[in-house]
Copies of this chain bind each other. A is one copy, B any other.
Amino acid sequence: MASEVPTRAYRRLGVEERRSQLLDAALSLFAARAPEDVSLDDVAEAAGVSRPLVYRYFPGGKQQLYEAALRSAAEELTHCFAEPPEGPLTQRLSNALDRYLAFVDEHDAGFSALLQGGSVVETSRTTAIVDGVRRAAAEHILVHLEVEEPAPRLRMTVRMWITAVEAASLIWLDEEKEPPLDELRDWLVEQFVACLVATAGRDAQTAGAVRAALAMEPADGPMGTFARAVLPVVSDAGHLL
């Protein structure tokens, strides 16, 4: 430190620092309550500043603050999806889902309010931000599947699963976070594989991606457990073959 005077507690924050402090305070509040139940006074109080100061930084008031907080949450969430292209595919998906579900767990009330829709702060801009996160998730998955120019069928399967994950997250929050997070994660990975396998039945590109992905899975890994758990159920339908 250049100075020995304990200025930290008293010094005025720079513009960017102040903005980010206000955003952090807003994000914590919007994570814990529906936007309807967060006032600018709450944000000012949480940040330890005056209401006019909040307005100076966010002249559009709650709507602007909400959108800025959402944009920052969306960025954080998009970072969750980054995963190095190494190891079995289901392990990578599992890692990314772990981070995603931790985010859902942490932002529970705000996540529900946002995705359930019908909120007063919902606009075409907020839905575009949420949609951007979905698209980013789909692109990440398609990159890991190592398919050049994924065709509509594979894209649709991936996007359907992403929506299903959102639905599962909402139900999970609604049902007091049952089953435990790691069980939910493993089950969502299994659902992903099942959806891809089903599409593989009518789409050669997907079949190629599934074959390549399953070849990397070890028998003593989660896909081995999954395959052995499902086998008795499908074996009973042998009359279909």
Contact = CB atoms under 8 A, between A and B. Distances in A.
A152 B166 contact: no
Interface stretch (A24-32, A118-126, A140-148): A118-126
Contacts of A153: 179, 187
Given A227-B240, A241-B228, A233 B201 contact: yes
Contact of A159 (B167, B195, B211, B223): B167
A74 interface: no
A191 B160 contact: yes
A156 B168 contact: yes
Interface stretch (A2-10, A11-19, A99-107, A213-221): A213-221
A164 interface: yes
A116 B224 CA distance: 38
Interface string A194-226: 110111111000010011001101010001101
For A178, A191, A197, A240, which residue has the most chain B Cβ atoms within 10 angstroms?
A: A240
B240 A217 contact: yes
A56 interface: no
Interface string A115-139: 0111100111111100000000000
Nearest to A226: B201
Copies in the complex: 2
A218 B10 CA distance: 78
* Consensus secondary structure, chain A interface: helix
B167 A152 contact: no
Contacts of A163: 163-164, 166-167
Interface of A: 116-119, 122-128, 152-153, 155-157, 159-164, 166-168, 171, 175, 178-179, 187, 190-191, 193-195, 197-202, 207, 210-211, 214-215, 217, 219, 223-224, 226-231, 233-234, 236-237, 239-241
The 8 A-B residue pairs whose C-beta atoms are closest, nearest first, are A118-B127, A194-B198, A201-B229, A163-B167, A214-B237, A160-B164, A227-B240, A201-B230
20 contacts: A117-B127, A118-B124, A118-B127, A163-B167, A187-B199, A187-B202, A190-B198, A191-B199, A193-B198, A194-B195, A198-B230, A201-B226, A201-B229, A201-B230, A214-B234, A215-B236, A215-B239, A223-B237, A227-B237, A228-B241
